């Protein structure tokens, strides 16, 4: 595996769905590709010829998907943050993952494989970092009531202070 253009590459451990998951992610992100695939050999723990790893790219970020068996599962303790620039973009990612996944609070969602994603509009970060702490707190309180982030509701909370 060569991911020379990137020092750190997240590795996603799947039981045996790595290839399926990679294609699932390639459907939703506007730019992405499979970079390389490795297969189990005659003396590896898996069945010879089955996919072992897939290095893939989403929006310029390299990932590795590993078919490692049923020993580990995903938790929300590690999540992928998607920086969104519009409500339409938030809706697209949210709706895609929600179709077979599990909605959580504050823009967090687990996809059908259990990988956690934070679908975050850039404007949320800007408002939370506002020097006016009352505005930032109003936005935080509004966000805490949401599952999918609604930009217009955040702006309404921000403007009411």
Domain that holds residue 105: 79-159
Looking at the fold, whether 59 and 91 belong to one and the same domain comes out as no
Looking at the fold, whether 63 and 83 belong to one and the same domain comes out as no
Looking at the fold, whether 152 and 87 belong to one and the same domain comes out as yes
103-112 per-position pLDDT tens digit:
999 999 999 9
User: Which CATH number belongs to the domain containing residue 19 in this structure?
Assistant: 3.30.720.100
Looking at the domain assignment, is residue 1 inside a domain? no
Chain centroid to CA 131: 29
153 Cβ contact list (under 8 Å, min separation 6): 142, 146
Instruction: Provide the whole-model pTM.
Output: 0.92
Looking at the domain assignment, is residue 73 inside a domain? no
Looking at the domain assignment, is residue 3 inside a domain? no
Coil vs helix vs strand at 62: strand
45-87 per-position pLDDT tens digit:
888 999 999 999 999 999 999 999 999 999 999 999 999 999 9
Looking at the domain assignment, is residue 26 inside a domain? yes
User: Which CATH number belongs to the domain containing residue 153 in this structure?
Assistant: 3.10.180.10
Looking at the fold, whether 92 and 134 belong to one and the same domain comes out as yes
Distance CA 35, CA 30 (A): 16
Looking at the domain assignment, is residue 74 inside a domain? no
List the alpha helices (DSSP H) in the chain: 18-28, 87-98, 122-128, 133-144, 151-159
């Amino acid at each position: 595996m060569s991911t020379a253009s990137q020092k750190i590459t997240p590795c996603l451990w799947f039981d045996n769905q790595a290839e399926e998951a990679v294609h699932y992610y390639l459907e939703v992100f506007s730019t992405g590709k499979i970079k390389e695939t490795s297969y189990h050999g005659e003396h590896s723990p898996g069945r010879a010829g089955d996919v072992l790893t897939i290095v893939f790219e989403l929006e310029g970020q390299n990932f590795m998907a590993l078919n490692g068996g049923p020993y580990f599962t995903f938790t929300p303790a590690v999540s992928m943050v998607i920086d969104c620039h519009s409500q339409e973009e938030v809706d697209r990612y949210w709706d895609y993952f929600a179709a077979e996944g599990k909605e959580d609070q504050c823009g967090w969602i687990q996809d059908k494989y259990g990988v956690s994603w934070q679908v975050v509009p850039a404007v949320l970060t800007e408002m939370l970092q506002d020097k006016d702490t009352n505005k930032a707190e109003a936005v935080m309180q509004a966000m805490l009531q949401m599952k999918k982030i609604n930009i217009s509701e955040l702006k309404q909370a921000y403007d009411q202070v």
